[in-house]
Amino acid sequence: MDTNDVQYYNKDSSFYFEYKQIKSNNMRVGHFHDTYEIYYLMSGSRIFFIKDKMIDVPENSLIIIHPNVLHRVINAPESDYTRFITYFNMDAFPSFLINDFTISPFLKNDYIVFQFTEREREAANKFVKPMIEEALKKETGYEITLYGLFLQYLAFCFRCIKKDHPVIPSIKNPTYIRTTEVVKYINEHYNEDLSLDVLADKFYVSPFHLCRKFKEVTQFSLSNYINIVRIKEAIIIMNKAPKKSIKSIAKEVGFKSYTNFSRAFKKITGHSPAYYKKNHISSTNFAIL
């Protein structure tokens, strides 16, 4: 395996990771998933769109994203970068470990962004680099070693969260601010009328200008983003209330037509609502086209 691209997936999906050295290009899709994500930006800088914020993230930063939080990475001026992403499912952890989650600041926010100190960066790499080596060599017992290293890395991240770090602010460019106001409104009012005319009137801009700036800043079309948010909420409801009918869920999240809901659901997840509900497919990395 190329050392520029290393992946590991364990059998029960309790955790997996990806290490990549990447030249240019945006994340081709936005995504959300039902796992936690820890994104360690080892080199380069990236602009992150997370929930309703645009954040210019410098190298040696850690981004922790909770399940079902929509996010996307957008190119920064220096486009080459290296990143190490860990995904994990807290429900798959041994029960005696769960208490450490419940008392950690980790659970207080939908996402956390901070930059490592030089000492923290060195410490993080002492977990990350051996994990990459173990995944490459695959020697006897490597999965046991990987799981142990991962738990140590996770505990290290928890301890870093509790320390004071300089805040990495969201981007204050007027266009970004205006667009993220629209994003926040959609996130909070996804089950209401979000037609183009309604949104344009709400934010005192022309429909054309609203669509153009939204796409320019977020890399999503406005209509597609609205569908993404609604489908994400539908999946959350399906998982929490499996006996609820699909048609009632479609209406609850803002779709006026079940046909439109079904079409949007399949485009975003690759499956029909009925198939998803029956098989309870993991929402990990659903592509947002």
Predicted pLDDT of residue 129 = 96
Each residue of 96-114: pLDDT tens digit? 777 766 666 677 789 999 9
pLDDT value of position 172: 87
The Cα–Cα gap between 116 and 61 comes to 6
**The CA-based dihedral angle spanning residues 244, 70, 200, 46, taken in that order and rounded to the nearest 10 degrees:** 180
Spatial CA neighbour of 63 closest among 18, 116, 25:
116
State the pLDDT confidence band at 285, using cuts at 50, 70 and 90. Answer: very low
Domain boundaries, the chain: 5-161, 174-278
- pLDDT band, residue 289 (cuts 50/70/90): very low
Q: Which residue has the higher pLDDT, 138 or 4?
A: 138
How many other CB atoms are found less than 10 A from the CB of residue 195? 12
Query: Is the pLDDT confidence value at 20 over 90?
Result: yes
Tens of pLDDT, residue by residue over 133-181, are 999 999 999 999 999 999 999 999 989 998 999 989 899 889 999 999 9
* Six-digit token string for 150: 């991962």
pLDDT band at 3 (very low <50, low <70, confident <90, very high): low
Give the residue with greater pLDDT, 1 vs 203: 203
Degrees to nearest 5, angle at CA 120 with 114 and 123 = 135
Q: What is the mean pLDDT of the chain?
A: 88
Concatenating the DSSP letter of every residue in 174-185 gives HHHHHHHHHHHH
CA distance 42 to 58: 9
Q: What is the pLDDT of residues 220-268, one digit of tens each?
A: 999 999 999 999 999 999 989 989 999 999 999 999 999 999 999 999 9
In this model, does residue 29 exceed pLDDT 70?
A: no
Tell me, yes or no, if the two domains 5-161 and 174-278 fold the same way: no
Question: Per-residue pLDDT averaged across 88-103, rounded?
Answer: 74
- Assigned fold of 5-161: Jelly Rolls (2.60.120)
C-alpha to C-alpha distance for 16 and 86, rounded to whole angstroms: 6
pLDDT at residue 76, as a whole number? 62
- Residue 95 banded pLDDT, cuts 50, 70, 90: confident
The whole-number pLDDT of residue 8 equals: 93
Q: Give pLDDT tens digits for 67-84.
A: 999 999 886 666 789 999
CATH number of 174-278: 1.10.10.60
Gap between the Cα atoms of 283 and 271, Å rounded? 11
